[in-house]
Chains A and B, each alone.
Chain A
Amino acid sequence: MPRWFYQLASPRWCYQITGRLLPGFAIAAVLLLMIGTVWGLAFAPPDYQQGNSFRIIYLHVPTAYMAQSIYLTMAIAGAIGLIWKMKVADMVAKSCAPIGAALAVLALATGAIWGKPTWGSWWVWDARLTSMLILLFLYLGVIALNSAIESESTAAQSTAVLALVGLVNIPIIKYSVDWWNTLHQPATFKVTEKPAMPPEMWIPLLIMVIGFYCFFAVVLMLRLRNEILRRERRTSWVRELLLQMRG
């Protein structure tokens, strides 16, 4: 195992390195999200079918994308925590869950808002929305289990097992929901399966996706740093740090 892997295992080192990385990611997130939003909302050409209402994809697609990526991150971090007993990995996994759930809620909300002008109703049992809803359920399960177990290390291990079971299930769920959708709604208009987007449309989307990744990194690091301080509060380095902050 390389040296950095062991260093990552040290909460103190992790706290320091995230402290150095944080400003860069924060600036990148703000810039990218600003550029992407202004470009997408104001300058990208309107859709030939949906007009301006399509512009919500600049929020909907990145959030939906993030909700899935974060679940993967959470499960991998959980697995590392399980296998190598790495406390920092446990903390990463724990910090991921609420962010992922929040983004899943955002994806569902933007999907619903998009649905109103497109389908004429706030909610349609569309395959993607349904899968996202189930992903949200998986997140809620993980959060519920984590908060129900008092011992922190037991909670981390149990949650990691659940997240891994969920990870194995996600492709199955996705496949079955897609299949169920074609069975019950044979000819609906699929907003996300568009003919190839022109670059003026997809470049801002790409910028938004990268911006959201940076945003996730920022929020994750903030939560992780809090978690590290909370759990290591009785160690000497955290005490010194607090004294420095006060003095």
Chain B
Amino acid sequence: MSAFQTKKLPELKPGFETEAFSPGKILLATLKRDVKLAFRRQSDWVNPLIFFLMVASLFPLGVSPEPKLLSTIAPGVVWVAALLSTLLSMDSLFRSDFEDGSLEQILVSPQPLYFVVLGKVLSHWMMTGLPLTLMAPLLGVMLFLPFEGMGGLVLSLLIGTPTLSLVGGIGAALTVGLRKGGVLVSLLVIPLYIPVLIFGTAAIEASLTGLPVAGHLALLGAMLVLGLTLAPLAIAAALRISVSG
């Protein structure tokens, strides 16, 4: 090569980026990006939904097609199926970002990691928890869940599944640096899901027997609030550790 090529770059303006950041903006931008990514990679969010449907349809085949029995186990079956589908989708939450270097780019950026993480988890919920919730009445019908239980089913899933995404995100962040994260995520996260499962199914059962549901939903809501405040912190810490390793 003979002579240097010459280039012109704009002047550096010191302290250019130190202006105030808006958490809301980065949250929204992350949400948009991840929803867009999910729409372009359909299998990521469609597969857990199909899995949800399939698992629930195993119970009539494996236990009994008898409507009375099915209607008693329906709340638990739908919730367990929702829980397992969420787990199934969890591993992909940070994996592709980790593998193509996007996660490093997020970590070296001056953005508060808390809000980026929150955006990613919310978009995960929008692509799994929310469709699961919307699909749940169909499963309820298949499992002869009486009509009175539908309200409790949808509401408990609506409030409970975001917590599943948040807690699952911790497991995903802890295992993102490992080649085989899949089963391990489930091992780490299933014990932490138990309270949500208990109050989720209890809400449906309460609405079936005509008891007030508000108490259960309030407890699920309390868990959600706790999850919203603490889980992103744990996820952010776990991501830094995983990337550092």
Contact = CB atoms under 8 A, between A and B. Distances in A.
> In their complex, do chains A and B touch, with some C-beta pair under 8 Å?
yes
Nearest to B234: A165
B175 A148 contact: yes
Contacts of B23: none
A82 B234 CA distance: 12
Interface in B190-245: 190-192, 194-195, 198-199, 202, 223, 226, 230, 234, 237-238, 241-242, 244-245
Interface string B158-199: 000000000100100011011000001001101110110011
Contact of B194 (A82, A154, A177): A177
Interface string A89-128: 0000000000000000000000000000000000000000
Nearest to B216: A179
Contacts of A172: 195, 223, 226
Of the listed residues A162, A165, A166, A180, the one surrounded by the most CB atoms of chain B closer than 10 A to its CB is A165
A28 interface: no
A157 interface: yes
Of the listed residues B195, B237, B242, the one surrounded by the most CB atoms of chain A closer than 10 A to its CB is B195
B237 A161 contact: yes
Contacts of A226: none
A169 B192 contact: yes
A175 B188 CA distance: 20
Interface residues on A, range: 20 to 34
Of the listed residues B167, B198, B199, B223, the one surrounded by the most CB atoms of chain A closer than 10 A to its CB is B198
Interface residues of B, number: 27
Given A165-B192, A168-B230, A169-B192, A154 B198 contact: no
A176 B188 contact: no
Contacts of A138: 191
A140 interface: yes
A183 interface: yes
Nearest to B192: A169
A235 interface: no
30 contacts: A137-B190, A144-B187, A145-B175, A145-B184, A145-B187, A148-B178, A148-B184, A149-B245, A151-B245, A154-B177, A158-B241, A158-B242, A161-B174, A161-B234, A161-B241, A162-B170, A165-B167, A166-B191, A168-B226, A169-B191, A169-B192, A169-B195, A172-B226, A173-B192, A173-B195, A175-B195, A176-B195, A176-B198, A177-B194, A179-B198
Given A137-B190, A161-B238, A180-B198, 13 more contacts: A141-B188, A145-B174, A145-B184, A145-B187, A149-B177, A153-B245, A154-B241, A154-B245, A158-B174, A158-B241, A168-B226, A173-B194, A176-B199
What are the 6 A-B residue pairs with the smallest beta carbon separation, nearest first? A154-B245, A176-B195, A137-B191, A141-B188, A157-B241, A176-B198
